[in-house]
Amino acid sequence: FVKTIAKDEMALAKKLVDDGQGHLFAHWKNGKDAKKIKAQMATLMQLHKSYPLPDGLLSYTKNARDLLAVSKAGKNPLEGWSPSVPQGESLAVGTPEFDDFESLGGPLLSKVGFVLVAGGLGERLGYGGIKVELPTESCTETCYLQYYIETILSIQQKHGVVGKTHLPLAIMVSDDTYEKTNALLKRNKFFGMDKKYVTLMKQEKVAAISDNDGKIAQAEDDPYKIECKPHGHGDVHSLMHSTGTAARWLNAGLEYCVFFQDTNGLGFHTLAASLGVSSKLNLVMNSLAIPRKAKQAVGAVCQLTNGETKEERTINVEYNQLDPLLRATVSPDGDVNDKSTGFSPYPGNINQLLFSLKEYVDNLKETSGVMAEFVNPKYADVAKTVFKKPTRLECMMQDYPMVLKGDDTKRVGFTSVSADMCFSPVKNDTTAGAAAQASGTHPAVAFSGESDQYNAIAKIMRSVGCKLQAGEKKTFNSVTMVTGPKIVVKPGVCCQPGDYKATFAGGDKIKITGGSVLILKGMGKVVFNSLKLNGALVINTGGLKSETVFDNLVIENKGWTEVPAADGPEWVKMRGYTLDKTETAEIICSHHAGKPYKWGEGSVGGTVVEPVEGAEEDPK
Ligand code: UGB
pLDDT of residue 618: 45
Least confident of 210-214, 391-395, 439-443, 464-468: 439-443
Ligand 1 atom, smallest distance to 425 CA? 11
Q: How confident is the model over 280-299, as pLDDT tens digits? A: 999 999 999 999 999 888 89
Per-residue pLDDT band for 607 (boundaries 50, 70, 90) equals: low
Q: What angle in degrees, to the nearest 10, is found between the helix axes of 178-187 and 144-159?
A: 60
Characterize 124-157 residue by residue with b for buried, 16 or more Cβ atoms within 10 angstroms of its Cβ, and e for exposed.
ebebeebbbbbbbbbbeebbbbbbbbbbbbbbbb
pLDDT of residue 611: 63
**DSSP-assigned letters across all residues of 333-368:** T-S--BTTTTB-SSPEEEEEEEEEHHHHHHHHHHHT
Q: How confident is the model over 124-155, as pLDDT tens digits? A: 898 999 999 999 999 999 999 999 999 999 99
| Paired strand residues for 562 | 579
Beta strands (DSSP E) in 307-459 are 312-317, 348-356, 374-375, 393-394, 412-417
| Mean pLDDT, rounded, for 153-165 | 77
Report whether pLDDT(164) > 90: no
Question: Please, which residues have CB within 8 angstroms of residue 206's CB and are 6 or more apart in sequence?
Answer: 47, 51, 60, 228, 229, 230, 231, 392, 393
Per-residue pLDDT band for 163 (boundaries 50, 70, 90) equals: low
pLDDT of residue 320: 84
571 alpha carbon – ligand 1 mean position (Å):
21
pLDDT of residue 595: 81
Report whether pLDDT(74) > 90: no
For residues 139 and 579, the answer to whether their CB atoms sit within 8 Å is: yes
337 alpha carbon – ligand 1 mean position (Å):
25
Cα–Cα nearest to 354, from 273, 409, 419, 418: 273
- Find out whether the beta carbon of 120 lies less than 6 Å from any atom of ligand 1: yes
Report whether pLDDT(602) > 90: no
| Mean pLDDT, rounded, for 111-132 | 93
| Mean pLDDT, rounded, for 342-351 | 95
- Find out whether the beta carbon of 298 lies less than 6 Å from any atom of ligand 1: yes
Q: What angle in degrees, to the nearest 10, is found between the helix axes of 56-73 and 7-18?
A: 20
Report whether pLDDT(529) > 50: yes
Per-residue pLDDT band for 380 (boundaries 50, 70, 90) equals: very high
Give, for 503, the enclosing helix (H) or strand (E): helix 500-503
For residues 110 and 155, the answer to whether their CB atoms sit within 8 Å is: yes
CA dihedral 278, 283, 288, 293 (to 10 degrees): -120
Q: Is pLDDT larger for residue 3 or for residue 244?
A: 244
- Find out whether the beta carbon of 351 lies less than 6 Å from any atom of ligand 1: yes
- Find out whether the beta carbon of 347 lies less than 6 Å from any atom of ligand 1: no
- Find out whether the beta carbon of 117 lies less than 6 Å from any atom of ligand 1: yes
pLDDT of residue 33: 86
- Find out whether the beta carbon of 349 lies less than 6 Å from any atom of ligand 1: yes
Name the H helices within 5-94.
7-18, 34-50, 56-73
Helix and strand numbers (H, E) in the chain are: 16, 34
pTM of model > 0.90: yes
Choosing from 50, 115, 116, 117 the residue with most ligand 1 atoms within 8 A of its CB, the one to mutate for a pocket test is 117
Q: How confident is the model over 326-339, as pLDDT tens digits? A: 999 999 999 999 99
Q: Is pLDDT larger for residue 605 or for residue 559?
A: 559
118 alpha carbon – ligand 1 mean position (Å):
9
Q: How confident is the model over 179-194, as pLDDT tens digits? A: 999 999 999 999 999 9
pLDDT of residue 305: 95
Choosing from 134, 228, 229, 261 the residue with most ligand 1 atoms within 8 A of its CB, the one to mutate for a pocket test is 261
Q: How confident is the model over 12-24, as pLDDT tens digits? A: 999 999 999 999 9
